[in-house]
A and B are shown apart, each in its own frame.
Chain A
């Protein structure tokens, strides 16, 4: 690992300044992804700015029911929070479906959103990879892509975003608070993560030095009836092959509203806007659910070894919609 200086500024503005004043700086939060990537040689910052003690560690409720989650809130505290569990069960479930107890105790909300892909070529510095070294090619396309994207990928990259939590936040329409060199701003989800296009080295719309300070979850009463469901290669402690976050509002057999996002299928947590639009106002029946989901997945372009993800995503999503509808 390349030597680096370590700074621990007292507040968010000083962290942004510290990072702007020095080249090749990275923020360190829980370190569960960054320390590993530094050890693997995938990233080699010269300065680490520790943001894990910036007192952005609370979940606060606004007058209208908005929840503001500090970027430094540990994943385990987020999942245990009574307001999060009651209002947005799928958010708590998505966090609990990820990693392990130890890692959730370390990992933060900000770091979770910005974790890098688990594509094996990206993590192996002896291999070419457009995301790690732009212009070197994408061996995954011809090689190991069983776990990679079926939607929205490009010639240059077929990676998936690995976060479970981001899938639920995308369904919930969370708003990410960012502080950059020009001051604070907000970025909506979906919209934080980007499709690879011909710049796969950029996972998100953030610029270097941008600090995530909080994530705001707007009120969504019907999300009290919501669910995160994850399919993986072993029962626990594995990344998603496919996952779904679904909130459903059904009255008198008709879908009044819904929110749907998919994980493990794209370079972004995939908001299923086509399926949502098809479902709103339609009959809450298995056939209706299947049609809406098929309309969404019509855009899928699977590779030879991950075509199974299309029916898998379809079946998991349809089943989850049925379960939620039956429970209402």
Chain B
């Protein structure tokens, strides 16, 4: 898209601070939504206020809590820091889109079975984050607690050697790995122990 062509607000060279709106085609949970957004709008606000998708939650609006986590092109991101105007041609999936035709996503089932929430406010973000996180680990992405970031380099033991990194090897997700990788999602109810248990079950 050429942002300029879609800009329906004032002449951009003028400094009059009236809202600028842009027309976009948003793809959310496999549905197409022609949408007109204010350039200032975040994805979180568009989802909740325009599209009626209130699963993603506003906890902090500063990127600090993870309650607003959604998937964009399969990657977990914070929708409170993502401007909607940047998202044409992107595939957005929210917690409402995780379930398949044959029932809930395995992580959703595991969260229920393991009591992985109390008030549930953080849960949509935890679920979307966990979906993205499992894909990252399967692709072999290291984390801050992964011993062999450099292949034979051990950040915690201090035994670097500079060997080969195993390409695309999945990471074995123990509790430490899950906790580190999920550290962008806070839970005021402190359901962490059961969240780790639920994710562990699906990661196996």
Interchain CB contact under 8 A, A35 and B42:
yes
Complex CA–CA separation, A32 to B61 (angstroms): 11
Complex CA–CA separation, A320 to B180 (angstroms): 22
The yes or no answer to A105 lying at the interface (CB within 8 A) is: yes
Most chain-A Cβ atoms within 10 A of its Cβ — which of B129, B153, B159, B179?
B153
Most chain-A Cβ atoms within 10 A of its Cβ — which of B149, B150, B151, B161?
B150
Known: A7-B4, A224-B160, A236-B179. A31 touches B81 (CB 8 A): yes
CB neighbours of A39 from chain B (8 A): 61-62
Interchain CB contact under 8 A, A5 and B160:
no
- The tally of residues in A whose CB lies under 8 Å from a CB in B reads 57
Q: Which of A94-102, A201-209, A290-298 contacts B (4 or more CB under 8 A)?
A: A94-102
Known: A82-B167, A236-B183. A35 touches B76 (CB 8 A): no
The chain A residue with its CB closest to the CB of B37 is A6
Interchain CB contact under 8 A, B62 and A36:
yes
Of B83, B140, B155, the residue contacting A35 (CB under 8 A) is B83
The yes or no answer to B58 lying at the interface (CB within 8 A) is: no
Interchain CB contact under 8 A, B158 and A227:
yes
Q: Which of A84-92, A146-154, A299-307 contacts B (4 or more CB under 8 A)?
A: A84-92
Question: How far in angstroms is the closest Cβ of chain B from A72?
Answer: 13
Chain B binding surface SS class: loop
Known: A5-B12, A82-B167. A327 touches B161 (CB 8 A): yes
Of A30, A52, A226, the residue contacting B160 (CB under 8 A) is A226
Interchain CB contact under 8 A, B136 and A101:
yes
The yes or no answer to A308 lying at the interface (CB within 8 A) is: no
Known: A8-B2, A93-B144, A96-B144. A85 touches B158 (CB 8 A): no
Question: How far in angstroms is the closest Cβ of chain B from A191?
Answer: 27
CB neighbours of A79 from chain B (8 A): 141-142
The yes or no answer to A318 lying at the interface (CB within 8 A) is: no
Q: Can you list 29 A-B contacts with CB-CB less than 8 angstroms, sorted by A residue number?
A: A3-B9, A4-B39, A5-B7, A6-B3, A6-B7, A6-B22, A7-B3, A35-B82, A76-B136, A79-B141, A80-B139, A85-B150, A85-B165, A86-B164, A93-B144, A93-B149, A93-B155, A101-B129, A101-B136, A101-B181, A102-B63, A102-B184, A103-B184, A225-B162, A227-B153, A235-B183, A236-B179, A327-B159, A327-B160
Listed in ascending order, the chain B residues whose CB lies under 8 Å from chain A are 1-4, 7, 9, 12-13, 15, 17-20, 22, 38-40, 42, 61-63, 66, 69, 75-78, 81-83, 85-86, 129, 132-133, 136, 139-144, 146, 149-151, 153, 155, 158-165, 167, 179-185
